[in-house]
Structure 1
Amino acid sequence: MRTSKAVLIADLRSSPPKSSYEFSHRCADSLDAGDHLITLFGRHEKSNRHWGTIVTAVFQTTAGELKVFRGQAEDGKHYPSLTHTYPVAQIFERELWEQTGLQPDGHPWLKPVRFEGERQQRMTDYPFFKVRGREVHEVGVGPIHAGVIEPGHFRFMCLGEKVHHLEIQLGYQHRGVEALLLRRPPMALASIVESICGDSSVAYAWGYCAAVEALSNSPVSLETDLLRGIALEMERIAMHVATLNGLATDVAFLQGGGTYGRLRTAIINATQRVCGNRFGRGWLRPGRARELSEVLRQDLIQTLTAFARDFTEINELMLASLSVKARFQGTGIVSTKTAQELGLVGVVARASGVEIDTRVQLPGRVYERFPAELITESSGDCWARMKQRMREADASVQWLLKVLGDTALDLSGSAAPDALGKPLAPETLCLSLIEGTRGPVVQVLETSSQGQLLHYKVQDPSLPNWFGLAMALRDNDISDFPICNKSFDLSYCGNDL
Structure 2
Amino acid sequence: MLPPDFILTRNAQAVEQFACPVVPFERFREAVIQGVADEGRLPALFAAPISGSDALRLTAVLAQSESGDLGLLSCDIGDSYPSLTPDCLAAHWFEREIAEQWRAQPIGHPWLKPIRFQPPRRNGTTESTTQIGITDFFRMEGAEVHEVAVGPVHAGVIEPGHFRFQCHGETVHHLEISLGYQHRGVERAMLAGPTARTIHYMETLAGDTTVSHATAYCQIIESLSKTRVPARAQAIRAVAAELERLANHIGDLGA
1:55 is aligned to: 58
Deviation at 1:107, TM superposition (A): 1.5
Letter in structure 2 aligned against 1:236:
R
Alignment of 1:450-465 (within 5 A): none
Alignment of 1:435-450 (within 5 A): none
Q: Which has the higher helix share?
A: 1
* CA contact 1:96–1:102 (8 Å) conserved in 2: yes
Alignment partner of 2:241 out of 225, 229, 232? 232
Deviations 1:325-376 (A, max 9, x none): xxxxxxxxxxxxxxxxxxxxxxxxxxxxxxxxxxxxxxxxxxxxxxxxxxxx
Identity %: 35
Letter in structure 2 aligned against 1:70:
S
Q: Does 2:47 align with 1:42?
A: yes
Alignment partner of 1:66 out of 55, 66, 70? 70
Deviations 1:423-450 (A, max 9, x none): xxxxxxxxxxxxxxxxxxxxxxxxxxxx
Alignment of 1:286-301 (within 5 A): none
CA distance in 2, matches of 1:53, 1:160: 46
Point out the structure with max Rg over C-alpha: 1
Alignment of 1:67-466 (within 5 A): 67-74=71-78, 76-77=79-80, 79-117=81-119, 118-119=127-128, 121-123=130-132, 125-132=134-141, 135=143, 139=147, 141-143=149-151, 147=155, 150-157=159-166, 165-185=174-194, 189-244=198-253, 247=254
CA distance in 2, matches of 1:146, 1:63: 36
* CA contact 2:149–2:162 (8 Å) conserved in 1: yes
Closer, same or farther: CA 105–129 of 1 in aligned 2, 3 Å: same
Letter in structure 2 aligned against 1:68:
L
1:320 is aligned to: none
Deviations 1:388-427 (A, max 9, x none): xxxxxxxxxxxxxxxxxxxxxxxxxxxxxxxxxxxxxxxx
CA RMSD across the alignment: 3.0
CA distance in 2, matches of 1:145, 1:240: 20
- Secondary structure of 2:34's partner? helix
Deviation at 1:53, TM superposition (A): 1.1
Q: TM-score if structure 1 supplies the norm length? A: 0.43
* CA contact 2:8–2:70 (8 Å) conserved in 1: no
Deviation at 1:224, TM superposition (A): 2.2
- Secondary structure of 2:72's partner? strand
Equivalent pairs counted in the alignment come to 240
1:361 is aligned to: none
2:13 is aligned to: 8
Deviation at 1:145, TM superposition (A): 5.0
CA distance in 1, matches of 2:130, 2:226: 43
- Secondary structure of 1:172's partner? coil
Which stretches in structure 2 are left out of the alignment for 5+ residues? 1-6, 120-126
Q: Which has the higher strand share?
A: 2
* CA contact 1:140–1:153 (8 Å) conserved in 2: no
Deviation at 1:209, TM superposition (A): 0.9
Closer, same or farther: CA 233–138 of 1 in aligned 2, 3 Å: closer
Deviation at 1:92, TM superposition (A): 1.3
Deviation at 1:121, TM superposition (A): 4.8
Using CA pairs under 8 Å that are at least 6 residues apart, name the structure with larger relative contact order, 1 or 2. Answer: 1
Deviation at 1:19, TM superposition (A): 3.0
Which stretches in structure 1 are left out of the alignment for 5+ residues? 248-485, 487-497
Deviation at 1:6, TM superposition (A): 2.3
Deviations 1:162-183 (A, max 9, x none): 7654433222222222222114
CA distance in 2, matches of 1:237, 1:136: 36
Closer, same or farther: CA 223–139 of 1 in aligned 2, 3 Å: closer
* CA contact 2:59–2:72 (8 Å) conserved in 1: yes
Deviations 1:279-318 (A, max 9, x none): xxxxxxxxxxxxxxxxxxxxxxxxxxxxxxxxxxxxxxxx
CA distance in 1, matches of 2:156, 2:233: 36
